[in-house]
Chains A and B, each alone.
Chain A
Amino acid sequence: MKPFLSVENMTQRYPDGQGGELTVFEDATFGVEKGEFVVILGHSGCGKSTIMNILAGLSDPTSGVVIMDGTEVKGPSLDRGVVFQNYSLLPWLSTLKNVTFGVSARHPEWSRAQVIEHSTKYLAMVGLEGDVIHRKPSQLSGGMRQRVSIARAFANHPKLLLLDEPFGALDALTRGTIQDELLKIWSGTEQTVFMITHDIDEAILLADRILLMTNGPYARVAESVEITIPRPRNRTEIIEHPNYYAIRNHLVTFLGKRSKEMAGQKTGEGSNRPTPVRIDTTEPEEPENAPPALRAVNE
């Protein structure tokens, strides 16, 4: 059975400006299950944002298809909500109106009062209440703006929520608070989320599964690492979980070393499926200083 979101043989090539072609990634194939929180990690330039734009329907791949819920993704849709890195709030609208803008696009049949009530509820969920919601985005801090953007996306109940480095422009402390808020709002829904990030700790905190990308050109989604830390997670508690550093070391090694070694390799024919990786030190007994158990499970 096909997963909820299925990316099949997706290839992106750009003209390199000298008559040739630059292949960003080739035959990328992966899936996301319904209700799953999937994070994609990789260095800049490996095509993460391109994948995001294709999933959002804002651009088309050179070849390959994206199938969501049985239908092919063609163009942008309200079924796929996007939170952009730079918030993308409309600066001439108040905070509340930025959210009602989305809600009334999603539910054109709703009354004005209904739209406002729904929007206010979602703004309150990200901690924006009272006078603040009548301010313009320029009067809000970066963290507050990104909260508005998250509220706008969640309020629309998209089938798939795409987060494009949503916390990239925020300072570490604010990032932590909003990550917690994102987890809180997400755990109350069955929302399927696909997120891009650079931040390893953020990825471990949020994700059910992390897709690791090698460096470009010919980047590929090389591994799919399952995060074997039970939910609900908490930033301060997960670091004490025995799997935390095992997973973290695996990710760091991949990004620091293996992503470079694997870069630029043309993999030949067929689909590039990520290798599933499951790291769980809690099952077998491991001595203290042993290297993390690393088992590649081929399905």
Chain B
Amino acid sequence: MPTSSLNFRAAILSLTLLVVGLLIWEAAIPAQKAVGELTEYELLTGAGQPKAGVPPPSEVIAKAWEQLSNPFYDAGPNDKGIGIQIGYSIYRVLVGYALAAVIAIPLGFLIGMSPLAYKALNPFIQVLRPISPLAWMPLALFVIQDSEASAIFVIFICSIWPMLINTAFGVAGVREDWVNVARTHELNPLKTAFTVILPAAAPTILTGMRISIGIAWLVIVAAEMLVGGTGIGYYVWNEWNNLDLTSVIFSILMIGVVGMGLDAALGFVQRAVSYAE
């Protein structure tokens, strides 16, 4: 009972903070003068045109309602529903991320199990890891010659490192005793890898995967601003060019919500594979 009451009180507090925050925001936005209040001079110099400004939350909420009630409309290249834009972004992230996982996890196993491989590959990892994924973009665009694939490549290159390093770390840290259990039961190396080392290292590997998906979602926005065409990053930049700050704020919120969803999905998997010693 104390836990549920704690949750309840926390929810009340969150809600209060939200409402207070929105009210302050709403109050802080100066209302635009109605056309009737303007002097003739002001009207002649264009002050009657709607001014660009940070919109109040009420407008953002109205925008969100409008967008979310029809998220998948497609009215030409520069006017697609938020659902379609997010769909493109998620698709790119998942493809790049999956490719990274397919390479990083087996390679991480190798590095974790073989001190030779660790020592030989470590310098490459240490040099490549700190490179901003966007720095790869020009090279990717030139070599791949396709903006879509380049964006996927950038996701691939940014999500590979945390998975690789965590897999290697997790595999190298598997308790000697558990490996000895596999050895005294005469398990072959493949069976040992799948029945002992993989489950033992899974929580650490999932930690890496969770960091990776977070980074990938951060990077896709920037990558899509560069490559353009579709995607939530492109959408934000396009609305900035349209000076539609209401849509910008709405899409920022959507980026946050989707990012939270991706993290929660991996968090769920992480809890499923974790174990208490």
Contact = CB atoms under 8 A, between A and B. Distances in A.
Contacts of B184: 56-58, 76-78, 80-82
Nearest to B196: A90
Interface residues of B, number: 18
Nearest to B273: A92
Contacts of B178: 88, 90
A76 B184 CA distance: 5
B185 A101 contact: yes
Interface of B: 177-178, 180-181, 183-187, 195-196, 199-200, 202, 273, 275-277
A216 interface: no
B65 to A, nearest CB: 46
Nearest to A58: B180
A197 to B, nearest CB: 19
12 contacts: A56-B180, A75-B183, A77-B186, A84-B177, A86-B177, A88-B177, A88-B180, A88-B181, A91-B275, A93-B199, A102-B185, A138-B275
Interface centre among B200, B273, B277 (most CB of A within 10 A): B277
A88 B183 CA distance: 12
A56 B179 CA distance: 13
Given A57-B183, A84-B181, 14 more contacts: A58-B184, A76-B186, A77-B184, A81-B184, A84-B177, A84-B180, A88-B180, A90-B200, A91-B276, A92-B200, A101-B185, A102-B185, A105-B185, A138-B275
A82 B184 CA distance: 7
A138 B276 contact: yes
A90 B181 contact: yes
Contacts, number: 55
A136 interface: yes
Contact of B277 (A76, A78, A82, A91): A91
Contacts of A84: 177, 180-181
A105 B275 contact: no
Contact of A78 (B177, B186, B199, B275): B186
Contacts of A77: 184, 186
A140 to B, nearest CB: 11
Contacts of B196: 90
B177 A58 contact: no
Contacts of A91: 275-277
B275 A92 contact: yes
Interface string A84-102: 1010101111000000011
A78 B183 CA distance: 9
A87 B187 CA distance: 19
Contact of A105 (B177, B187, B276, B277): B187
Closest 6 CB pairs of A and B: A138-B276, A105-B185, A92-B275, A88-B177, A76-B183, A91-B275
A76 B182 CA distance: 9
Contacts of A138: 275-277
A105 B199 contact: no
Contacts of A92: 199-200, 202, 273, 275
A157 B207 CA distance: 40
Interface centre among A77, A84, A88 (most CB of B within 10 A): A88
A90 B275 CA distance: 10
A90 B276 contact: no
Interface in A228-250: none
Given A58-B180, A88-B181, A92-B200, A136 B186 contact: no
Contacts of B195: 101
